[in-house]
Homo-oligomer: A and B are copies of this chain.
Amino acid sequence: MQYKLAIIGFGNVGQGLVQILRDKGTELSKQFGADFRIVAICDLLKGSVCNPSGLDPATLLDVVAATGKIETMSAPHHGWDALRTIAESGADVVVELSYTDLKTGEPALTHLRAALNAGKHVVTTNKGPIALHYAELKKLADAKGMEIGAEGTVMSGTPSMRLGLELLAAAGVSRVQGIINGTTNYILTQMESGMTYADALNEAQAKGYAEADPTGDVEGYDAAGKAVILANLLMGATLTMNDVDRTGITGLTLQDIESAKAKDERWKLIGKVEKSGGKVSASVKPTRLPVTHPLASVGGATNALTFTTDLLGDVTLIGPGAGRLETGYAVLGDLLAIHRRFGK
């Protein structure tokens, strides 16, 4: 079965996905009977290119590496904007990877609506539209008989959403909590070894974990967006960003870290969603955990989620929370889920 992909946004994640398709395309086709063909890519800065009969992944990566653009690649169509790409590229699946805006969800929201309205499946790693407008998008997708994949919005390609949605769905998930922001976990891990908050933040910025303006990470907004996603996708809630009881890590001092350490405890920024009496609540808070707690041993930029269930008790998943190939794999996971559902 062949799937034609239009990719909106060609940054790290998009390039990671194209790299996976370049390196594993033949194997995927053999292993799963799914042939994922890129027919269009559109990026605000790098330009756009469309070939309804397929764009070669290796050439795409070479061209963007050499020129920083994709406009220069030979193809029947160039210069289409995102909406024209969605409408006219002949894609079956729109992969939305444009930049994240946790205030409006735009421009991704408009792209996703257009794609679903046009009867195309959508896959996104973009937290904005999923945290802010999932209920509307899901309703639209269901009405159109389409799939909406959002695995990469939490824990990148570590299959946390599908673990919760598919494999633990019948176990009765009452609480999901964990480390869902790698930047702050990296900073806290460095502070454990004696570094000040300022130095740890500088190092995180130097390594590319934290942005120049680190507010989104260190004040817990990124984690809060993910908590909303967990609540709404896994527990059928309709929370908004304002419903999250949110505290970041900027108030934590080296002394706080040391005094926890002296009691064999560790500070972690824990995102938590909990169902109780039919109501779902969400929080993001620095939390002291005993070092023996499974989440306490999760260091550096790694993420982890513990699902508390009726039938299995606690089940914890630990894995990467970011990265080019890692997040590209999230998209692939969603594409394969579409294939499992529709590719018969």
Contact = CB atoms under 8 A, between A and B. Distances in A.
A320 interface: yes
B163 A159 contact: yes
Interface residues of A, number: 44
* Interface majority SS (helix, strand, loop, mixed), chain A: mixed
A242 interface: no
Interface string A159-196: 10011001111111000000000000000000000000
Given A294-B318, A311-B326, A167 B163 contact: yes
A340 B298 CA distance: 34
B326 A158 contact: no
A223 B65 CA distance: 48
A289 to B, nearest CB: 11
Contacts of A312: 157-158, 319-320, 325-326, 329
Interface in A282-338: 291-294, 296-299, 311-320, 325-326, 328-329, 332-333, 336
A221 to B, nearest CB: 25
A316 B313 contact: no
Interface stretch (A24-32, A114-122, A126-134): A24-32
A205 to B, nearest CB: 23
A122 to B, nearest CB: 19
A326 B313 CA distance: 8
25 contacts: A31-B169, A31-B170, A158-B312, A159-B163, A162-B167, A163-B163, A167-B333, A169-B336, A170-B329, A170-B332, A170-B333, A170-B336, A292-B299, A293-B297, A294-B297, A296-B297, A311-B328, A312-B320, A312-B325, A313-B320, A315-B319, A315-B320, A316-B319, A317-B317, A340-B340
Name the 5 nearest CB pairs between A and B, nearest first. A159-B167, A315-B319, A316-B318, A297-B297, A311-B329
